[in-house]
Structure 1
Amino acid sequence: MSDIDEPLSPDELGHRLTTVFDLVGPLYRRAARKVEQAEPMEGVSAGVRAVLNLLRVHGPMTVPQMGRDQAISRQFVQRMVNEAAARGWVESVPNPAHQRSSLIRLTETGRSTITQVLGREHHLMRQVGGSLTEAEVRACVRVLTEMVRTFEQGDPD
């Protein structure tokens, strides 16, 4: 086993992961802008996209559940839900588990919209070069998953 295959010390890991962290924000913002610019008439902001995709993946959710999942405030999620509802992409339905916290679910128009957005994102991601391998992508996903898991542990929700 070579040195690059040895686990890093906590101090060195912290330095290396800072490099990863420094790339994640700009990457997300640039990719979101590219997707938004590709089809501005749809008007799907990054925040609304996150809401639509959460509902696509998990089915109906409450605003607090979405906030916890995304580690963002309920107020921000509510604004994104309101924006999506105004476009006819989501609707509020009764929540049998909690009378005061409605479930938010995708409409057919919302499902179609997020499918189109994801298709454009997929097209964008296909353009990534570098001859990346399955092992490299798995390693990247593993690193980011561990970082998310570590920072989730500190969340009060």
Structure 2
Amino acid sequence: MKDFNKEKDFFSLGALIAFRKANNILSKKEALSINKSGLTLGQFAVLEILYSKGPLTISDILNGILTTSGNITVIIKNLKRDGYIIQIPNPKDRRSSLISLTENGISKIEEILPEHFSNIKDSFSDLSHEEKKILIRLLRKIK
């Protein structure tokens, strides 16, 4: 343990613990809100990215949300079953298809988003605009 720097490593560990605690708090709040709608976090993430970006390939969805390729198959299957999304031919590549929201999917995400945004706003309400900008900049530096 030659490279161990007690003071430096102590602050790194403290930062990690604070980050994990904050992440757990935010995740629990998000899960409570979204689960009330009858969706899982993964299903919400898919609906949200399709709502904000439009029709996407499964690969693009995977790159935009935090889930595994095995899990995305189940999420897509269940969202199709529930009538929130459809699969359409990809006009740019016949070998693939696009996932698109249905009217039912648009209604569902629009029903959830106001409370979701309100929860996010509430979670960060003790931070000033400038502190939020600093937080974003600092978090982007983590490797």
**TM-score bucket of the superposed structures, by smaller chain:** 0.7 to 0.9
Q: What one-letter code is carried by the residue in structure 2 that aligns with 1:120? A: E
What displacement does 1:19 show?
A: 2.8
Identity %: 23
Per the normalisation by structure 2, the TM-score is: 0.78
1:87-109: per-residue Cα shift (whole Å, max 9, x none)? 11111000123323210011122
Q: Tell me, yes or no, if structure 1 residue 109 matches structure 2 residue 104.
A: yes
Q: Tell me, yes or no, if structure 1 residue 127 matches structure 2 residue 122.
A: yes
Give the equivalent residue in structure 1 for 2:29.
Answer: 31
What displacement does 1:13 show?
A: 6.7
Give the alignment's Cα RMSD to 1 decimal: 2.6
What displacement does 1:74 show?
A: 1.9
Do 2:86 and 2:101's aligned partners in 1 also have CA atoms closer than 8 Å?
Answer: yes
Once residues 13 and 97 of structure 1 are traced to their aligned partners in structure 2, the CA distance between those partners, rounded to angstroms, is: 50
Q: Cα 1:19–1:53, aligned 2, differ >3 Å: closer, same or farther?
A: same
User: How many pairs are equivalent?
Assistant: 137
Q: Tell me, yes or no, if structure 1 residue 60 matches structure 2 residue 66.
A: no
Once residues 23 and 98 of structure 1 are traced to their aligned partners in structure 2, the CA distance between those partners, rounded to angstroms, is: 43
Gaps of 5+ in 1: 1-9, 151-157
1:49-68: per-residue Cα shift (whole Å, max 9, x none)? 00011111211111122112
Per the normalisation by structure 1, the TM-score is: 0.72
